[in-house]
């Protein structure tokens, strides 16, 4: 059986080559038709890099054809059927379907097939492609060749679209670089990183949706403003709640001005005030701290506000410790270096995207 299968394998190779050529022709025909369709579309929708896209389409359809041919590599049974059809009158198929045994019929068939294959001219398995495919290929190739040289009526619009696409990619790359630098910056708190990253993700979406370089510049400017809001959001919210209370009015003003020294002084002063407050004043202050706590998205800052609120009735050490923790968190919140750095990089993008 080994000798028979060796001969069949040679036949399989020729059958595979023929199928590969035919499938490749089909792939090229499909590719040419898609390219011709793309040219038709370019008359109504601006399309840039036509030749490059055409080659990619043809390359893809050709690759699919090759992969398909390899997946459908002929089996021994398929090869046997083809040989039987040409010359061997079901001998090979019958032998391959039978189990090896010592019966006289099997041995007789085995020797017969062996002899037939030995005398079989493998060149009878022609590898010439299908004539119909060659004709269609010739026609579609000619049409493809003509399509390349047909002028594009929307050439100017296509050039503008390409320039915009290039600008979008460049700006997105810049934003991704900022994101990468931010992630590796160990001095920036995780809360601030998350706040900035959310704005940068939104910026990338806006850039990709932009329909002109002017819109890209607007998206960059808008993000710069949003980063300012992120920078001041928690401090402004806390100040807004604290300024309602006469005991924390000056602290609220210090927070608005982002004055670290004044904030520290006012928190020390607040400790003395709390110690001398009546119950109704403490309740009002606790309410202001609670509202401030609920209006911040910084978990550590919220926790520090809550600790101050909980320790107003405790001993001096606990109150002083919680106020010191709050001062540290407020000081960290006032640290704008990371946001200012990102803002500067985004603003640089604004300057390079002047718009058209």
The per-residue pLDDT for range 74-110, each reduced to its tens digit, is 887 777 777 776 665 656 666 656 666 556 666 666 6
Q: Where is mean pLDDT largest: 9-13, 56-60, 152-156, 169-173?
A: 56-60
pTM strictly above 0.75: no
- The tens digit of pLDDT for each residue in 104-151 reads 666 666 666 666 666 666 777 788 889 999 999 999 999 998 888 888
Name which of 119, 223, 120 is nearest 179 in CA terms: 223
Residue 170 backbone dihedrals phi, psi, to 5 degrees: -65, -45
Dihedral class, residue 9 (left if φ above 0, else alpha if ψ from -120 to 50, else beta): alpha
3-state secondary structure the chain: CHHHHHHHHHHHHHHHHHHHHHHHHHHHHHHHHHHHHHHHHCCCCCCCCHHHHHHHHHHHHHHHHHHHHHHCCCCHHHHHHHHHHHHHCCHHHHHHHCCCCCCHHHHHHHHHHHHHHHHCCHHHCCCCCCHHHHHHHHHHHHHHHHHHHCCCCCHHHHHHHHHHHHHHHHHHHHHHHHHHHHHHCCCCCHHHHHHHHHHHHHHHHHHHHCCCHHHHHHHHHHHHHHHHHHHHHHHHHHHHHHCCCHHHHHHHHHHHCCCHHHHHHHHHHHHHHHHCCCHHHHHHHHHHHHHHHHCCCCHHHHHHHHHHHHCCCCCHHHHHHHHHHHHHHHHHHHCCHHHHHHHHHHHHHHHHCCCC
% of the chain at pLDDT higher than 90 = 15
* Tens-digit pLDDT profile for residues 291-333: 888 888 778 888 988 888 888 876 678 888 988 888 888 887 7
How do residues 187-199 score in pLDDT, each as one tens digit?
676 777 787 888 8
pLDDT of 21 higher than 80: yes
Instruction: Please return the burial class of 346, using the count of CB atoms within 10 Å of its CB with bins 0-12, 13-18 and 19+.
Output: buried
């Amino acid at each position: 059986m080994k000798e028979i299968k060796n001969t069949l394998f040679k036949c399989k190779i020729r059958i595979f080559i023929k199928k590969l050529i035919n499938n490749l022709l089909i792939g090229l025909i499909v590719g040419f038709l898609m390219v011709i369709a793309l040219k038709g579309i370019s008359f109504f929708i601006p399309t840039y890099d036509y030749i490059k896209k055409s080659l990619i389409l043809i390359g893809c359809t050709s690759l699919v054809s090759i992969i398909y041919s390899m997946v459908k590599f002929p089996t021994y049974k398929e090869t046997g059927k083809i040989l039987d059809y040409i010359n061997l009158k079901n001998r090979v198929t019958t032998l391959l379907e039978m189990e090896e045994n010592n019966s006289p019929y099997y041995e007789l068939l085995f020797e017969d097939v062996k002899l037939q294959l030995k005398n079989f001219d493998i060149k009878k398995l022609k590898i010439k492609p299908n004539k119909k495919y060659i004709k269609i290929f010739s026609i579609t190739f000619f049409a493809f060749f003509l399509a390349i040289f047909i002028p594009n009526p929307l050439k100017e619009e296509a050039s503008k679209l390409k320039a915009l696409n290039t600008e979008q990619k460049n700006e997105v790359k810049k934003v991704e670089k900022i994101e990468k630098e931010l992630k590796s910056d160990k001095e920036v708190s995780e809360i601030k990183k998350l706040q900035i990253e959310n704005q940068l993700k939104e910026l990338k979406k806006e850039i990709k949706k932009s329909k002109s370089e002017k819109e890209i510049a607007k998206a960059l400017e808008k993000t710069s403003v949003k980063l300012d809001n992120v920078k001041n959001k928690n401090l402004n919210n806390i100040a807004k709640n604290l300024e309602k209370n006469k005991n924390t009015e000056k602290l609220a003003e210090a927070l608005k001005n982002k004055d670290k020294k004044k904030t520290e002084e006012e928190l020390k002063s607040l400790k003395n005030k709390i110690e001398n407050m009546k119950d109704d004043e403490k309740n009002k202050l606790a309410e202001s701290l609670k509202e401030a706590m609920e209006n911040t998205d910084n978990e550590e800052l919220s926790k520090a506000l809550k600790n101050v609120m909980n320790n107003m009735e405790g001993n001096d050490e606990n109150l002083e410790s919680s106020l010191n923790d709050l001062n540290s968190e407020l000081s960290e919140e006032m640290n704008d270096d990371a946001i200012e750095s990102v803002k500067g990089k985004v603003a640089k993008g604004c300057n390079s995207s002047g718009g058209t």
